[in-house]
């Protein structure tokens, strides 16, 4: 093969990728990568930018994979919960039908419970299997996050944030609650409880 063979950018990249795979070292250091790129006319800044993009992509892929796993767990829990609710619905209504039968089976009064409760069951069936409620998923994720961290640990993390906020400037409780929600991924109730506890510990801290 001629030493003057020309390769386009894609071909050159593929050759380097395959060569690095066959390399006995099994990869290259960052310095060697920059040196190799320089030999190809690629600046060190371009290599660093590409490295940052790769890190961001890997992080985005990791977050996306975690989100996918959480959604699958959420769906399984909702379906299991619906199955339990459906079993309760069927058992209770069969029990009422039995009572109706044993008491003379006159006017079929269980129908009102069957229909009223059944509407709720039908609605739950639709949202469970055909229309995932994003708000419910986010609440479930926050509860799961809080459970994993623990209430004590969450309070420990909340206090420095509130200390920082009130030291920097006068701040209202509403603003403090908003900051806690955003920084710690809390729902409104938990953020308010932590702000209340902080205010009890430090009276007059909020304007």
Tens digit of pLDDT for each residue in 159-188?
A: 888 888 878 777 888 888 888 888 877 777
Angle at 134 between CA 129 and CA 140, to 5 degrees: 90
Highest mean pLDDT of the ranges 39-43, 119-123, 162-166, 198-202: 119-123
166: Cα separation from own chain's centroid = 30
Of residues 150 and 43, more confidently modeled:
43
pLDDT of residue 165: 80
Q: Which one is predicted more confidently, 123 or 204?
A: 123
pLDDT > 70? residue 45: yes
Confidence of residue 53 (pLDDT cuts 50, 70, 90): confident
Nearest to 165 by CA among 191, 145, 187, 135: 191
Q: Considering only CA atoms, give the Rg of the chain.
A: 30
Res. 146: pLDDT tops 70? no
For residue range 78-104, what is the model confidence (pLDDT) as tens digits?
899 999 999 999 999 999 999 999 988
What distance in Å separates the CA atoms of residue 5 and residue 41, rounded to the nearest whole number?
A: 17
pLDDT at 25 over 50: no
- Helix %, strand %, coil % for the chain, to 5? 80, 0, 20
10, 52, 124, 141, 207 from 82: Cα distances, Å? 52, 45, 7, 18, 46
Confidence of residue 38 (pLDDT cuts 50, 70, 90): confident
Q: Please indicate whether residue 146 or residue 177 has the higher confidence score (pLDDT).
A: 177
Q: Which of 6-10, 36-40, 87-91 has the highest mean pLDDT?
A: 87-91
């Amino acid at each position: 093969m001629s030493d003057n063979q020309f390769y386009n950018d894609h071909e050159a990249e593929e050759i380097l990728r395959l060569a690095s795979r066959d390399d006995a070292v099994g990869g290259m250091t960052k310095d060697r990568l920059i040196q190799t790129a320089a030999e190809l006319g690629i600046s060190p800044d371009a290599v660093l930018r590409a490295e940052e993009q790769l890190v961001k992509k890997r992080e985005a892929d990791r977050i996306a994979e975690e989100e996918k796993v959480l959604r699958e767990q959420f769906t399984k829990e909702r379906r299991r919960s619906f199955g339990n609710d459906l079993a309760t619905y069927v058992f209770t209504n069969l029990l009422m039908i039995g009572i109706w039968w044993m008491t003379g089976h006159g006017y079929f009064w269980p129908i009102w419970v069957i229909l009223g409760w059944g509407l709720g069951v039908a609605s739950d069936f639709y949202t469970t299997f055909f229309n995932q409620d994003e708000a419910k998923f986010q609440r479930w994720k926050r509860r799961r996050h809080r459970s994993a961290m623990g209430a004590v640990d969450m309070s420990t993390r909340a206090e420095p944030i509130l200390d920082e906020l009130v030291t920097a400037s006068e701040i209202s409780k509403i603003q403090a609650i908003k900051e806690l929600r955003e920084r710690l991924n809390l729902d409104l109730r938990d953020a308010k409880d932590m702000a209340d506890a902080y205010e009890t510990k430090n009276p007059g801290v909020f304007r």
